[in-house]
Every structure is written in structure tokens, then in C-alpha cells.
Amino acid sequence: MPRTPVLPAHLAALLAAGTVIPAHPLALDANRHLDERRQRALTRYYHAAGAGGVAVAVHTTQFEIRDDRYGLFEPVLALAADVLDKEATHPMIRIAGAVGPTSQAMCEAATAAQLGYHAVLLSPLVVGASEEQLLDRARAVGDVLPIVGFYLQAAIGGPVLSREFWRAFADIPAVVAIKAAPFNRYRTLDVVLGLADSARADEVSLYTGNDDSIISDLLAVYHLVRSGRPVERRIVGGLLGQWAVGTQAAVKVLGLSKRAHSGDADARAALISMATDLTDFNAAVFDPAHDFAGVIAGVHEVLRQQGLLEGTWCLDPKGALSPGQAEEIRRARRMYPCLTDDDFVAEHRDEWLR
């Protein structure tokens, strides 16, 4: 039998303690070609902001990078790896998105492994797949790299997955974390309860991907029973498209959540005070008013207004800002400067764009 791949010990400890993992955007020029200088600048930003990892080739990076007409899957992974290989001054876990049927997901995981990635975020989007087929696929991919599971919201095509699925998923030896991103409190609870029933419950970390309720997730304590004994579980960090902007602020938010769980009442009060602010900021960026049509362009628009990106172009020309979204983002940036990193980016932008 193949040996189950494992994370290096220092990265396993980082993931278990909880960290900030931005979902890396794709920098394009006006011709919709890869802008390598700005792509590298984004990776430098996330590192300088104190993120503990990056997730590349995920939804925020645009799934179209895999299309033969673009051929960007490997180059985009390679650019982030190169920056971190040469410039990182603190540990960062590198997570690559893997999609498609088993053969494709395994191939993408193998490419990521060759480029020095440590784990894959395994998309659940496989047309017509049953829960058992998704589990078989995860077991196969887990022979290549450690896995971060992913519960994707139904609004952008994610399947509804049972509590029993998440228990069985957590039982897979290669699974190191689960990103709960159904944008639904009941389904998030299914992930937590399923994990609690797994024999590997203490080996799998919970991360939020619920960009609409980040602080609520980080403050939540789940009171559960395992083997007849009461236990507590919490979400320890986030792997988020929202944290592709305001990343230094996100590091501060996560730090406050850790202090709050240690009994710091002031930290808890500060987080509660900013919880709806962050949700409002996310609404401007993610565009729920138009069923998330402008979600990727919204991330780009924040970075464009800050000067890190030249424009909001997506590989798919349909991936544009919704009417009024740019002004909504300007409003949110004016309203919530403590969440945007505007001053931090302005201070270091030219250095990152070198």
C-alpha cells in the first residue's frame, strides 16, 4: 500500500494552531494575459501581511486557468512557489486547488507536489458524483498529497453533503483540515458534527470559508459529545477569498479570536464590534446582491483601487463587476479602514511590484 503523505511537522503545527490562508487571485493585463510582475506582487503582499499560507489555483484564482487555451495552471502555481522559495522569511503552507474527476484531480495534485506544494484543497464539484464516489476520489488524491476538504456553497454549484459524508471524509488518513464554506449555519454544523464522530477528530483542523460570517465562525464554540464525553471544538483559522484583501487586518482578526478564546474579554468585545463591519465589507466585494456574479472581479477591484492590480479583468469576459459594485467597494473602504490594509499596501506596494 502507498504511504500516506504527511505535512512537515512545523506546517502541521501551524495548520492545527490556526492561521490566515488567502485564496490567491490571478493578475491579468488588459489583453487577459498573465501579468507575472503583479502576480508575484500579490504573493509578496500575503507573505508580508503575515499570512500563514496561500491557496493557489482555487476559485478566486479562476478555474479557467486549467483550460488548454490558457495553460496557466502550472505557471501560476510555479510563480507563487518561486516567490516563497526565494523570499519567504516565515513558514507558509502552500495549498493548491484540485478539481475535476479522480484522474484530473490526481494529476493536478501530482503537479502541485512537484512544485513544492504541501496539500490540495479538493473541490467537491464533480458532476453526478455520489457521496461514496467523492470519498473514493478523495482517498485516491490522498495518495498524492495531504487533503483539505471543502464544503462549497450551493449558490455557486456546491453539492449538499451529509453529516455522515464528513465523518467518513475525516476518517481518510490524508485529510488534514476541512474548509467549511456552505454559507449556511446548518450545513457548517453538519461538518463539525461529522468531524466529531470521526476517529480522527483530533487530527483534522476546521477552517472557515464562510466569507459572510468570518468572525462568527472564529468566535463559535461547538459543544459536542464524543464517546460519551463532552468535548468542545472550534474553527481555528480561515481559508478565504475575502482574506485575499485586507490580509494584514485578517491576521489581526485571527489574533484577536485566539486571545478571546483564552479569556481576553477586550479582544472578544473588539471582534463582536467589527463582525457586521466585515460582513458588510464582504457584501461589497462578493456581490451577493447579484448572486455573487461579481465575486472574483470584486476582489480584483479592491486590489485595483489599492494599485496592486492594473484592472479587474478575468479570463472569462463575463466575469465583470456588477453595476454599482465599484462604488460599493469604495464605500466599504471608506467605512472600514481598519479592515482594508490601505495604508500598509500604499507603504509597500512599489517594493512588492519591483
DSSP code string of 276-311: HHHHHHHHHHH-GGGTTTTHHHHHHHHHHHTTSSS-
According to CATH, what is the number of the domain 9-250?
Answer: 3.20.20.70
Please, what is the Cα angle at 69 between 63 and 74, to 5 degrees?
A: 55
Q: Can you give the C-alpha Rg of the chain in angstroms?
A: 19
Cut 0.95: pTM above it? yes
Domain locations along the chain? 9-250
End-to-end CA distance of the chain: 47
pLDDT tens series, the chain, 354 aa: 557 899 999 999 999 999 999 999 999 999 999 999 999 999 999 999 999 999 999 999 999 999 999 999 999 999 999 999 999 999 999 999 999 999 999 999 999 999 999 999 999 999 899 999 999 999 999 999 999 999 988 877 789 999 999 999 999 999 999 999 999 999 999 999 999 999 999 999 999 999 999 999 999 999 988 778 888 999 999 999 999 999 999 999 999 999 999 999 999 999 999 999 999 999 999 999 999 999 999 999 999 999 999 999 999 999 999 999 999 999 999 999 999 999 999 999 999 999
**Segment (H or E) for 42:** helix 36-48
Q: What is the pLDDT of residues 36-95, one digit of tens each?
A: 999 999 999 999 999 999 999 999 999 999 999 999 999 999 999 999 999 999 999 999
